[in-house]
Structure 1
Amino acid sequence: MANYIVVVEDDVNIQNIVSAYLKKEGFDVTVTDSAEKAWELWQTQAPDMWILDIMLPGMDGYDFCKKIRQETDETPIIIISAKDEEFDKILGLELGGDDYLTKPFSPRELVARVKRVLKRTKLKAGENDASDDKLKVGNLLIHQGERRIFWHGEEQDVTTKEFDMLLLFATNINRAFSREELLVKVWGEDYFGSDRAVDDLVKRIRKKLAAIPLETVWGYGYRMRSDEDKQ
């Protein structure tokens, strides 16, 4: 069954181009020109993915993204926007976007990112190997049930916090997490220590897993990219 994608974009030319390329790849596509109409679509048939412009009439893409994320963390969102400052990209990812593509962009690149994000969503849901509960991102393999980590095929000796942080990043590829978010998600809401604990844990992971694509988002926190993204 074809993945159902809703494109939320008010530029007719971009609508037509994106729709044509996605349909050519076998996707089921619906196009709408406002976040309000997109929300109505959400009420009747939830898509497998949103492709979302930021600068929309009425409710903007940021508010729509926030509204969707209040309902579900599962449906991936690719943001397409003329806003190309680092702040805009970080904000889009922080609000729940799974990827961010700046205009003008290649339709072929968008299609490639759509396929990649959908693949990662399936990995996150465990569809790639539900029986063994494995998650593979590039050269990183995580046995979730057994809480074991493999890097380039070699099992690594990791602590509980190292495992929890790696699993969090691996199930949220390209998403930027603030240090405060990481403290809550890895250490728990009752933790009252310094956010330096996050930096120290990242350093230990980088030392154990040489060249792991765990990147610093300066002045904010960290994110992980797949090996494919690093190439």
Structure 2
Amino acid sequence: MKILVVDDEKSIVNLIRMNLELEGYKVVISMTGIDAVDKFKMEKPELVILDIMLPDISGHEVIQKFQKIDNEIPVIMLTANSQMNDKLLGLQLGADDYITKPFNSAELILRIKAITKRSKKKDNKARENNNEINIKGIRILKDERKILIDGQEVATTYKEFDTLLLMMENCNKVFTREKLLERVWGYEYEGNTRAVDILIQRLRRKLGIYSESLKTIYGVGYKLEL
């Protein structure tokens, strides 16, 4: 598996590279946002670890450029403890996860493995089951990882796709925020369910006229009612 690491601090880059290579990952390094976008195009990584604070353009701008190139590639943000607004904005723009500095290398490895394990399970399940789910005007093609709203394809991030697929496969079932974190993120999110709320907001916008079908069950969680 190839991972693109984007950070302008050499000590952090070297630490991440050493730990990832010990785990058998191939590592590509970038120290600026513009270079990161170029390497994202050329190297075609399977996952990105991205610092929000970069010397040329912000990590948020980098995420947006990644999304235009390939919105299926998971992105883990690196942020400072005080940068809560940056974390939330990154999640809104399509990042899949974040980890705060200073971080434990073992935790970072676990986050990466959780994302890749989840994607492998989804790929295997798509091959085993029928490829298509079609309820009213929402259609999901599992093998192609495509979502179509009234016949028009809608671009989604990896976790947006996984969340809608889960809820389409369990229509009218109520999912707590914690259960969605467990099923989509694949691990406990340190009690921070805000990531789920942000992802649901993004999905509602993309569902268009079907946005109201993604209902909030106050004090509990969410369900898709079609």
Both proteins in one fold, TM over 0.5: yes
Q: Distance in 2 between matches of 1:184 and 1:17?
A: 39
Q: Secondary structure at the residue paired with 1:123?
A: helix
In structure 2, distance between residues paired with 1:175 and 1:204: 14
Give deviations 1:139-160, integer Å, cap 9, x for gaps.
xxx9x69x654xxxxxxxx43x
Contact 2:79 2:87 in 1 (8 A): no
Q: How does 1:95-110 map to 2 (within 5 A)?
A: 95-110=93-108
117 and 34 in structure 1: CA distance in 2 versus 1, 3 angstrom threshold: same
Please say if 1:56 is aligned against 2:54.
yes
Partners of 1:29 and 1:178 lie apart in 2 by 28
Residue 177 of structure 1 is matched in structure 2 by 198
Distance 1:67 1:83, change over 3 A: farther
Q: Work out whether residues 41 and 69 of structure 2, in 8 Å CA contact, stay in contact via their aligned partners in 1.
A: no
Structure 2 contact 45–73 (Cα < 8 Å) conserved: yes
Give the partner amino acid of 2:217.
K
1:23-68 CA distance string (max 9 Å, x none): 0000001111111111121222210011000110111111000111
1:68-217 equivalent positions in 2, closer than 5 A: 68-82=66-80, 84-124=82-122, 126-128=123-125, 130-132=127-129, 148-149=169-170, 158-159=171-172, 173=185, 174=195, 176-177=197-198, 180-185=201-206, 188-190=207-209, 201-203=215-217, 206=220, 214=221
Q: Which residue of 2 aligns with 1:22?
A: 20
Q: Tell me how far 1:190 sits from its aligned partner.
A: 2.9
How far apart are residue 72 of structure 1 and its match? 1.9
Question: Shift of residue 121 of structure 1?
Answer: 2.6
In the aligned structure 2, how far is the partner of 1:17 from the partner of 1:66?
A: 26
Q: How many residue pairs were aligned?
A: 178
SS of match in other structure, 1:130: helix
Larger Rg over CA atoms: 1
Report which of the two has the higher share of helix. Answer: 2
On the 8 A contact 2:92/2:202 being kept in 1, the answer is no
Does the Cα contact within 8 Å between 2:79 and 2:86 map onto a contact in 1? no
For 2:154, the equivalent position in structure 1 comes to: none
State the SS of the aligned residue for 2:63.
Answer: helix
* Counterpart check, 1:4 vs 2:2: yes
Distance in 2 (CA, whole Å) between partners of 1:9 and 1:176 is 28
Moved over 6 A (4+): 168-171
> What is the correspondence of 1:210-229 to structure 2 with a 5 Å cutoff?
214=221
What is the percentage of aligned positions where both structures have the same residue?
Answer: 30
CA contact (8 A) 1:36 1:59 kept: yes
Amino acid of the structure 2 residue aligned with 1:58: D
Corresponding residue number in structure 2 for 1:38: 36
> Where do 5+ consecutive residues of structure 1 fail to align?
136-141, 150-157, 207-213, 216-221, 223-231
| Long gaps (5+) in structure 2 | 132-141, 143-162, 186-194
TM superposition score normalised by structure 2: 0.65
